[in-house]
Structure 1
Amino acid sequence: MAVQSVQARDDTRDQALPGYAVAAIREEGRWRCISLDVAALHDLDAAITELRALRSTGAVVGLLDVDDEFFVLLRPVPGGVSLLVSDAVAALDYDVAADVLDLLRVELPSDGEDALWPEGDLAILADLGLPAEELEVLVNELELYPDEQLAAIGRRCGFADALAAVVDAR
C-alpha cells in the first residue's frame, strides 16, 4: 500500500536527522535489535518495506526516534501495518509523521496547534507486555525525550539491552 506524504521542504529531505531507526525482533523467546536505514526517519514507506523484509516467526517492531522531537512505532500485521506517532502535531514539520497520519486517515493538525497528542494504535505492544493504558501514560510524559520513552518501552517489553547496544553503537 503506497503512502502519500506532505511535500518536504527542499532543504530538509536529504539532510540527516538526529535520532535513530531500529527494528526489535523477537524469535524463540529472545529479542535482538538491528539498525534500519536512516531513510526510515524521512520516509514511512522505507521503514515499512525494511521491516517487512525482515521476515520473522515472532514479533517485529520498528522504533523511530525522529530528530529528538517525537517517536513512531510500527508493527507489520497481516494485511497492513499498525502505527503510533507520539505527537500528531509533528506532522506539520516532519514527513514521516505526516505519512503516519495519512496512512491512519487522520487529518493534519491546524497550523497553530501546539498541544501534544499521540495518534494511532496505543495497544500496538499490548501482547508484548505494554498495555495501551501504560503506553498512553508514557507517551504523555512530557519530561522524557523520545529516546528515553523508547528506552522505557524497551524495558517494559524486554528488549532494552538489545536496543541500547544498537543505539550506543551508531
Structure 2
Amino acid sequence: MPAPASCHPWSCRLRQTVTLRDQYAVRLWLGSDQQNYESRPVVELLDHGVTVQWWISPRGDGWNGSLTCIAGRSEPNCVLLDSLGMHAGVAEILLLQGGRLVHPAGAEAVTVAGEPRAADLDDDGFLDVIGTANDYRPNFAQGHNYWQTFRYRAGRLVVTGCAPETRGSGPPVQLLHGACPT
C-alpha cells in the first residue's frame, strides 16, 4: 500500500517506529519543511512488516511530532503529540482495534503552552495526556502556567484538573483534580 499522495508535497520522512504486540508496528512520518503549514503528521500501521493502513492527523504542524504507545490491557494505544502553531500543542489518541488504527472523534486535546506529554496516569492501560494551561493574567507572556491533565475514557480525552507549575517542578505523575484557569 503506497504512502498517501499528500506525503509527496510535504516531503514526508520517517521520524519514528514503535513496535506493538502481535507483530504490529506503527511508523510516524513527518514533513521536512517547517514553513509548510499545510503538512500533517502521518501514521503508518504495519502487520508483520506489511503496510495495512495510513492515517493522516487532522491537526498538528506535521514536522515536529512524536508517538508514545503502550500495550494496554485490552488493546494497544498510542498518543500522537505535535506542535500546533507558535506555542500550542495537540495530542491525539490512536487505538489498535481489529487490525486497524481508530481515532475516536473526542480523543484529542489541545494545550496552549508547549507540546503535551503522554503517560498512563491512572494505571488503567490507556495513555492519558499532560499539558500546560495559562491564566493569561494580564496576558499570555506574563501569565502563569498550570499543569493540566486529560484522562482517556470512553473515546474521549477529558480535563481532570490543573495545578500551578512551579520552578523546577516536573510534570505530574497522577491525574490532577485542582481548578483550572478560566
Q: Which of the pair is proportionally richer in helix?
A: 1
Which has the higher Rg, Structure 1 or Structure 2? 2
Structure 1 length-normalised TM: 0.29
Structure 2 length-normalised TM: 0.28
Q: Which of the pair is proportionally richer in strand?
A: 2
Q: Using CA pairs below 8 Å that are at least 6 residues apart, which structure has the higher relative contact order?
A: 1
